[in-house]
Amino acid sequence: MQDKIEGQSKGNIVMVTEENTMPDSRDGQSKNTIIMVTEGPSIPDPREWRIVNAWSIALVGAIVTLCCLAWFRPDPYRDILTFVPDGLAATFQVTLLSICCAVPLGLLTGLGRISRHRLINLVASTYVEVIRGIPLLVQIFYFYYALSGLLQLSRTAAAVISISFCYGAYMGEVFRAGILAISKGQTEAARSLGFNRFQTMFYVILPQAWRTILPPIGNECIAMLKDTALVSVVSMPDLMQRARSYANNTYLYFETYTVIALIYLIITLLLSKVVSIMESRLNYYDGKR
């Protein structure tokens, strides 16, 4: 059992692709897992020991650039840095709320996708198909403006709901793939020990699958933070909206968007490191081979 798991967690982001495992075949072979990078940044390898690597170059580069700009050209740059913090708070608020909604939704969707119950399976699969086929920007417009006749959603609610719905579908696929990657023998062993299906899933399969799932989920969360930039269209005063306001007031487009790009970059790099540390904690025993 341990061998299989180790085999999986070698890659940074392990995901079983759809070609490999049909939803119904529950004996996903971890040896054939294919590494698939989703839209987030790459999670740094927890076993990376060199100091100079892509991650540290990017982070140090971004921080040094930002500090230099603020120090040597305080006129626009420090102004911009003092103008945007409340936008940063809104960005984090939307991201955190969306993560809280999207991860459970993703888990439910993932379980639904591998469910034997035909109706549940159909509902979950349809949800994934529909949501993944619609751009997030369209979904945000839809929840906020198009549905305004039926639902009076606040801008935060509309932003959180549309992002959670969108990412819930993507995460559902991650959960499904992670669960399918656990060998069928685990289920059989648990069932023969008298666990029921529910117990098997929550006490045996998911704890193991979680290690495979974490990097891509972390990745999706970071991608989510980046995609919150889209909610500025519903007049949500997030980091992007603040940048646009500033640029539209001062006509300093280059300066403003440089600062904003660097801020987003620093946040995502730090978060990817956090995910990487969490991953190494989960895979603690793998290192002691």
Partner 1 sequence: MLRKFALALLALTLWCSPAAAETYIVAGDCTWPPMEALDKDKTPVGYSFDIIRAVAQAAGFEVEIRNIAWDGIFAGVAAGNYDIVASSTTITPERQKAFDFSDPYYEVHQAVIMPAGKSIAKLDDLKGKNVGGQIGTTGIFVMQKANVGATIREYDDVGLAIQDMVAGRIDAVICDDPVAMFYMNKKAEYAKKLTIPLVTNDVEYYGFTVKKGRKDLVEKINKGLKIIRDNGTEAKIKEKWMGAD
User: Which residues share a beta bridge with 14?
Assistant: 35
Cβ proximity to partner 1, 38 vs 256, nearer residue: 256
165 half-sphere exposure, CB direction, 13 A CA radius: 21
Stretch that binds partner 1, among 28-36, 150-158, 160-168, 205-213 (CB under 8 A): 150-158
- Is 245 a binding residue for partner 1 by CB under 8 A? The answer is yes
Query: What is the smallest separation between the CB atom of 241 and partner 1, expressed in angstroms?
Result: 7
- Is 29 a binding residue for partner 1 by CB under 8 A? The answer is no
Interface with partner 1 (CB under 8 A), residue total: 19
Residue 81's contacts (CB-CB under 8 Å, 6 or more residues apart) are 66, 70, 259
Asked whether 236 and 97 are in contact (CB, 8 A), the reply is no
Q: Which of residues 161-200 bind partner 1 (CB under 8 A)?
A: none
Pick from 85, 193, 248, 270: which binds partner 1 (CB under 8 A)?
248
Cβ proximity to partner 1, 147 vs 278, nearer residue: 147
- Is 155 a binding residue for partner 1 by CB under 8 A? The answer is yes
Q: What DSSP character marks residue 42?
A: P
Tell me the two tokens of residue 65: 């650039």
Pick from 251, 284, 288, 289: which binds partner 1 (CB under 8 A)?
251
Per-residue mark of binding to partner 1, 126-145 (x: CB under 8 A):
------------------xx
CA dist., res. 60 & res. 40, Å (int)? 20
Cβ proximity to partner 1, 70 vs 137, nearer residue: 137
Distance of CA 90 to the CA centre of its chain: 18
Q: Where are the alpha helices (DSSP H) in the chain?
A: 2-8, 54-72, 74-83, 85-113, 118-132, 136-144, 155-180, 184-192, 197-199, 206-227, 239-250, 253-282
Asked whether 189 and 120 are in contact (CB, 8 A), the reply is no
Binding site for partner 1 (CB under 8 A): 144-145, 148-149, 152, 154-155, 233, 235, 237, 241, 244-245, 247-251, 253
